[in-house]
Amino acid sequence: MKKLRSAAREGRSLRIKLGIDPSGADLTLGHAVVLRKLRQFQDLGHIAVLIVGDFTGRIGDPSGRTKTRSVLTPEQTRRNAQTYMEQALKILREDRLELRYNSELLRGTDGAEKMGKSLGNWISLNDTPDDKYGKIMSISDDALSHYAELCCAWSAAELDDFSRILARHPMDAKRTIARRVVELYDGADEAEVTENRWIARFSNRELPEDLPEFLLPAGDGTVNIVDVLLAAALVASKGEARRLLAGGGIRLDGDKLRAEPGPFAREDLAGKVLQRGKLHAVRLLVEE
């Protein structure tokens, strides 16, 4: 009620969201009860947003207890969503209605699309503060508003402040989200320490002393840096290593390597730091 009164005083429109299960093609009288309430909000000048659970529809019921939520293809969820829209318009006003999909809203969060577990770059609540902060600093700028709204537990006023930061400088906005997430799950003191550590390490290009070590195998002759990147798990494939080298994304002791670095003498690499981007680095050791 507070938000409604505040919006009325300020002449602002609210966005009222309703989630819909995409497992069937028909809306029911039960749906109509809520849709009519949404219509009342529309008539008061607010926006109704129908959110179709297309991402969750592709999973089905994770508990396995019911078959009413069967696994759907993306095409099936889109078809069902279209029929939902046609039926909802029997009650709702089209001029104050939006249709969205939860795969859009979950982008970069809770296991969906860009931050999904299947991609290996998801953020766990059990991650260390450094990992949480670092992973958030790696998300794309176009996902920042979603993270702010869904992950930061901010009030409407705080989200407005964030929007102003985002408009001025996306990097500052990203750091604001990263600090907030660490604060929520690890405490305010840890958030401050983590942020200062990140600034020291990446903004000032400092690396921690306790880097993971990679032991180069014994032998004579030279070492191919692409092979080392792959063996040290800094890249997923030789193709990725070559792309990163071509883009200036690989450094050796702080110096960018050229696109096709020549072979290195094994002993010349001893003690040097091989680095991919800002987040991943190993110290090279030579087997005696």
The 3-state DSSP class for residue 76 equals helix
pLDDT at position 103 over 50: yes
CB-CB contact of 154 with 112 (8 Å): no
* CATH number of the domain where residue 120 is located: 1.10.240.10
In DSSP terms, 50 is beta-bridged to: 18, 99
Residue 19 sits in the same domain as residue 81: yes
Per-range mean pLDDT, top range of 99-108, 122-131, 221-230: 221-230
Residue 97 sits in the same domain as residue 113: no
Residues sharing a CB contact under 8 Å with residue 163, sequence separation 6 or more, in sequence order: 145, 148
- Given 172, 187, 206, the domain boundary residue is 206
CB-CB contact of 38 with 31 (8 Å): no
Residues sharing a CB contact under 8 Å with residue 281, sequence separation 6 or more, in sequence order: 207, 211, 234, 273, 274, 275
In tens, the pLDDT along 203-214 reads 555 666 678 899
Query: Which residue did the predictor score with more confidence, 7 or 162?
Result: 162
Q: What is the DSSP letter of 73?
A: -
For residue 56, what pLDDT is reported?
A: 56
- Given 56, 88, 105, the domain boundary residue is 105
The 3-state DSSP class for residue 220 equals coil
Residue 4 sits in the same domain as residue 100: yes
pLDDT at position 69 over 60: no
Q: Distance between CA atoms of 19 and 37, rounded to whole angstroms? A: 14
What is the rounded average pLDDT of the residues 160-172? 90
Please measure the distance between the N-terminal and C-terminal CA atoms of the chain and give it in whole angstroms.
Answer: 72
Residue 114 sits in the same domain as residue 194: yes
Return the CA Rg of the chain. Answer: 25
Q: Distance between CA atoms of 20 and 55, rounded to whole angstroms? A: 12
Residue 146 sits in the same domain as residue 218: no
What is the rounded average pLDDT of the residues 57-79? 55
Residue 69 sits in the same domain as residue 12: yes
pLDDT more than 90, % of the chain = 22
Residue 185 sits in the same domain as residue 242: no
* CATH number of the domain where residue 13 is located: 3.40.50.620
Query: Which residue did the predictor score with more confidence, 129 or 56?
Result: 129
In one-letter notation, the amino acid at residue 272 is: K
For residue 269, what pLDDT is reported?
A: 86
In one-letter notation, the amino acid at residue 46 is: H
Residue 145 sits in the same domain as residue 175: yes
Residue 77 sits in the same domain as residue 162: no
What is the rounded average pLDDT of the residues 248-263? 86
Domains held by the chain: number: 3
Place of tokens 């921690």: 208
Q: How deeply is 122 buried, as exposed, middle or buried, from its count of CB atoms within 10 A (0-12, 13-18, 19+)?
A: middle
Query: Which residue did the predictor score with more confidence, 165 or 117?
Result: 165
Residue 231 sits in the same domain as residue 151: no
CB-CB contact of 114 with 140 (8 Å): yes
CB-CB contact of 134 with 281 (8 Å): no
For residue 120, what pLDDT is reported?
A: 46
- Given 163, 191, 206, the domain boundary residue is 206
pLDDT at position 51 over 60: yes
Per-range mean pLDDT, top range of 126-140, 172-186, 187-201, 208-222: 172-186
pLDDT at position 62 over 50: no
* CATH number of the domain where residue 255 is located: 3.10.290.10
Q: Distance between CA atoms of 134 and 182, rounded to whole angstroms? A: 10
Residue 129 sits in the same domain as residue 164: yes
What is the rounded average pLDDT of the residues 216-240? 86
Q: Which strands form 15-20's sheet, in the order they lie side by side?
A: 15-20, 47-52, 97-101
Q: Count CB atoms within 10 A of the CB of residue 233.
A: 12
In tens, the pLDDT along 4-28 reads 788 778 888 888 998 887 676 777 7
Q: CA angle 276-192-144, nearest 5°?
A: 60
In tens, the pLDDT along 258-286 reads 888 878 888 888 888 899 877 688 999 98
CB-CB contact of 241 with 229 (8 Å): yes
pLDDT at position 81 over 60: yes
Residue 161 sits in the same domain as residue 241: no
Q: Identify the domain containing residue 256 by its residue range.
A: 213-286
CB-CB contact of 166 with 129 (8 Å): no
pTM above 0.95, yes or no: no
